[in-house]
C-alpha cells in the first residue's frame, strides 16, 4: 500500500503458521471434500495446531552487547527479540515449514534486525562478522526450499536480517524503460508505485502478494507472465549488494563484454554471497488491453505439443499454461463441477497483453489447433487468473483436514519432457506407497522456452505416519529421479537447504568449488545463510 506521502506502507503480517491474510482462510469446497476419500482413502485427522502464544522456543543466545551493537545501527525499535517475531521469522512457507509451525517446540532465530538502508545492512554484516553471528536475509518469507531456516551453522547465534524497511521506488528512467527498486519492496507495492507512473514490471509468481524484489532476484524467480516478459533474472539490469568484505554496484550498461557478468553471480545466490539491497529492472508501459482464451486437449501429450509449437514460433501469449488431466479435474471440483470429473482431457490457459494482440492470438490459435486443441472461450482463463494467488490457501485447508499437500518443480528439453514427468510421478507414487499411503499427483507446464519447458507438480497424500519424516524420504527419492532423468533440481523455487545435497550432481564438483571460492572471498567467516545452496557448514 502507498500512503499519502507516496511512501510504501507496511502490510499486515502474514498468517504465522499458514499462507497469506488470516482473514482469507477458507474451508475446503464441498466437492473437494467429497473427492478426497475417493482419491486417498481414509484420512487421519491431525492434532490441532498449537496457538502462537503456546509455542516454546529456545531463549535467545544473543547477549546485551550484541543487541546494543545492532540497536546503535538500526535503532532500538528495529531490534526485536520477542517470541512472536522470532517464530514468524523461523522459516518460509513450504509444507514442511508449515508443519513445523504447528509443533509445540520450534527453532527460531535469536533476534530480528530490521535494517532501513544499504549502510545499515553493511554495518549489521560487520557486527555479525565481528561477533560470530550467522545472518539469514529475510524478505517476504515465502521461500519453499528451506532457505529461511534459522540455521546458525558453526556460529554462536543466528540473526534474521529483515529487509522490509528497504522499500520503495528509488528511480524511474522513462526514456530507457528502467526502474530502480529497494530490495524489500513487495511485488504489489512495486507494481503500485510503477503503475502510478504509467509503467509495470509484470512479474507475477504465485508468491507475488508477499514476496519482495530482492527475493525475486536472490531466488531467480519466474512468474506467470514469463512467456511474454521473461523470467525475473531476464528483467534485471543491475543490482547493489552488501557483502561482509565490500560493496558491489553492478550493471553499468545494457550490454558488456567487460569480463564475466557478475550480476548473474548474485541472481540465485539466496543470500550466501551478500545481501541484495537495490535492484534495477526493465519495465514497460502498462498494457491497455488484456484478452483471455482457454483451450482443451485430449491429453497432456497433445497439449505439450501445442505449447512447443507456440514457444518455438515465438510472438505468442503473455501467459500460456497447460494443466494435465488430474489438475484439470481438481480445478473442476473446486468450482463444483463434480459431474465432469470423469471426463478426460487437459486444459490450456492463454492471456495476451500489449500490442498486436489480434495477430498473436490468431497465430497461437492456429498452432494450438494443429496440435489438436479446441477453444473453450475466455471464461475458464478468466477464472484461473481471478483465483491465481489463492492456491496456497487451499493447501492450508488441506493440511487442516489431514491431507498432505506439497509442490515441486523442475525443467528439461521438449524431447525429454515426458520421460522426466514419468520419472517424477513414479518416484512420488512409489515413495508414498512405501509409506503406506495413496497419493494423487497433478502436473502443469507454466514456463516455456524454444528448447524446453518447466514441469510443476502438486501431490496430495493421506499420510498415516509422521508427515515430515515421510516427505523427507519421498522427496529424496524424487530429487534422485530428477537428476537421473536429466532435469534441473529447481527451475524457479531455488536451492535453499532442501536441494543443496543434489546441486553438485547438476553443476559438478568443479562448479561447487567455484561457488565455495566466491563465498570464501566475499564471506570469509561464513556468516551468510549457512548450509543454503552449498551443502555442509564449512566454506
Is the distance from CB of 8 to CB of 2 less than 8 angstroms? yes
Query: Whole-angstrom Cα distance, residue 331 to residue 32?
Result: 9
Amino acid 5: pLDDT = 38
Q: How far apart are CA 327 and CA 381, in angstroms?
A: 14
Q: Which grid cell is 234?
A: 531476464
Q: Output the nine-digit C-alpha cell for 22.
A: 488470516
DSSP per-residue codes, 345-360: -EEEEEEEESS-HHHH
Split the chain (539 residues) into runs of 10 and give each run's mean pLDDT: 41 85 84 86 86 96 98 98 97 96 96 98 98 98 97 97 98 98 98 98 96 98 96 98 98 94 97 98 96 96 98 96 93 54 78 94 98 94 88 91 96 98 98 96 97 98 93 98 98 98 98 97 98 83
The dihedral through the CA atoms of 178, 181, 187, 193 has a sign that is negative
In the structure grid, which three cell numbers stand for residue 24, read together?
A: 482469507
Q: Write down the pLDDT at residue 157.
A: 98
Question: What's the whole-model pTM score?
Answer: 0.94
DSSP letter at 344?
Answer: -
Q: Write down the pLDDT at residue 440.
A: 96
Dig out the grid coordinates for 174 from the structure. Answer: 522513462
Q: Name 436's Cβ contacts closer than 8 Å, sequence gap at least 6.
A: 464, 465
Angle of helix 30-40 versus helix 325-334 axis, rounded to 10:
140
The H-assigned helical ranges of 132-211 are 187-195
pLDDT score at 332: 66
What pLDDT shows up at residue 337?
A: 46
Q: List residues bridging with 318 in a β-sheet.
A: none
- Structural domain 290-484, CATH architecture: 3-Layer(aba) Sandwich (3.40)
Q: Is the Cβ–Cβ distance between 215 and 142 less than 8 Å?
A: yes
Residues 6+ apart with CB under 8 A from 48: none
**Closest residue by Cα to residue 432 from 459, 402, 398:** 459
State whether CATH 3.30.465.10 applies to domain 81-254+262-286+517-539.
yes
User: Taking Cα atoms as reference points, which of 422, 425, 485, 444 lies closest to residue 304?
Assistant: 444
What is the structure's pLDDT at 539? 63
Look at the chain and count its residues.
539
Distance between CA atoms of 430 and 445, rounded to whole angstroms? 23
The full set of domain ranges for the chain reads 81-254+262-286+517-539, 290-484
Amino acid at each position: 500500500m502507498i500512503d499519502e506521502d507516496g511512501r510504501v506502507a507496511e502490510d499486515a503480517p502474514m498468517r504465522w503458521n499458514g499462507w497469506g491474510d488470516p482473514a482469507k482462510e477458507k474451508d475446503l469446497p464441498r466437492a473437494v471434500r467429497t473427492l478426497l476419500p475417493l482419491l486417498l482413502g481414509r484420512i487421519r485427522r491431525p492434532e490441532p495446531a498449537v496457538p502462537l502464544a503456546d509455542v516454546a522456543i529456545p531463549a535467545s543466545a544473543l547477549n546485551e552487547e550484541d543487541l546494543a551493537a545492532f540497536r546503535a545501527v538500526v535503532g532500538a525499535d528495529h531490534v526485536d527479540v520477542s517470541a512472536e517475531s522470532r517464530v514468524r521469522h523461523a522459516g518460509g512457507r513450504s509444507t514442511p515449514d508449515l508443519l513445523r509451525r504447528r509443533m509445540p517446540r520450534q527453532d527460531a532465530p535469536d533476534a530480528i534486525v530490521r535494517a532501513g538502508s544499504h549502510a545499515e545492512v553493511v554495518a549489521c554484516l560487520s557486527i555479525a562478522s565481528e561477533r560470530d553471528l550467522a545472518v539469514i536475509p529475510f524478505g517476504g518469507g515465502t521461500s519453499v526450499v528451506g532457505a529461511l531456516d534459522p540455521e546458525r551453522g558453526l556460529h554462536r547465534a543466528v540473526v534474521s536480517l529483515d529487509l522490509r524497511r528497504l522499500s520503495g521506488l528509488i528511480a524511474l528512467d522513462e526514456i530507457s524503460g528502467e526502474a530502480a527498486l529497494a530490495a524489500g519492496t513487495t511485488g504489489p507495492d512495486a507494481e503500485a508505485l510503477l503503475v502510478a507512473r504509467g509503467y509495470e514490471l509484470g512479474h507475477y509468481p504465485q508468491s507475488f502478494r508477499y514476496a519482495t524484489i530482492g527475493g525475486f532476484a536472490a531466488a531467480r524467480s519466474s512468474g506467470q507472465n514469463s512467456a511474454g516478459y521473461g523470467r525475473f533474472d531476464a528483467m534485471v539490469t543491475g543490482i547493489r549488494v552488501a557483502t561482509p568484505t565490500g560493496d558491489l554496484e553492478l550493471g553499468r550498461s545494457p550490454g558488456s563484454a567487460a569480463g564475466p557478468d557478475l550480476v548473474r553471480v548474485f541472481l540465485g545466490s539466496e543470500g550466501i554471497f551478500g545481501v541484495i539491497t537495490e535492484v534495477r529492472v526493465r519495465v514497460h508501459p502498462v498494457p491497455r488491453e488484456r484478452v483471455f482464451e482457454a483451450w482443451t486437449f485430449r491429453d497432456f501429450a497433445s497439449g505439450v505439443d501445442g505449447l512447443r509449437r507456440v514457444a518455438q514460433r515465438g510472438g505468442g501469449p503473455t501467459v500460456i499454461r497447460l494443466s494435465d488431466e488430474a489438475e484439470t479435474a481438481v480445478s473442476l471440483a473446486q468450482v463444483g463441477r463434480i459431474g465432469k470429473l470423469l471426463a478426460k482431457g487437459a486444459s490450456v490457459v492463454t492471456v495476451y497483453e500489449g500490442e498486436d494482440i489480434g495477430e498473436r492470438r490468431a497465430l497461437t490459435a492456429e498452432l494450438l489447433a494443429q496440435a489438436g486443441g479446441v477453444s473453450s472461450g475466455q471464461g475458464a482463463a478468466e477464472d484461473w487468473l481471478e483465483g491465481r494467488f489463492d492456491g496456497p490457501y487451499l493447501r492450508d485447508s488441506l493440511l487442516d483436514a489431514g491431507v498432505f499437500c506439497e509442490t515441486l518443480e523442475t525443467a528439461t528439453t521438449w524431447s525429454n519432457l515426458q520421460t522426466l514427468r514419468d520419472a517424477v510421478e513414479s518416484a512420488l507414487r512409489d515413495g508414498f506407497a512405501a509409506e503406506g499411503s495413496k497419493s494423487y499427483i497433478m502436473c502443469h507446464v507454466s514456463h516455456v522456452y524454444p528448447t524446453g519447458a518447466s514441469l510443476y507438480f502438486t501431490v496430495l497424500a493421506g499420510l498415516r505416519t509422521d508427515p515430515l519424516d515421510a516427505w523427507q524420504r519421498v522427496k529424496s527419492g524424487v530429487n534422485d529421479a530428477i537428476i537421473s532423468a536429466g532435469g534441473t533440481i529447481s527451475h524457479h523455487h531455488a536451492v535453499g537447504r532442501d536441494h543443496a545435497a543434489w546441486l553438485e550432481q547438476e553443476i559438478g564438483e568443479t562448479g561447487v568449488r567455484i561457488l565455495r571460492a566466491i563465498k570464501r572471498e566475499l564471506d570469509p567467516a561464513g556468516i551468510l545463510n549457512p548450509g543454503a545452496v552449498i551443502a555442509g557448514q564449512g566454506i
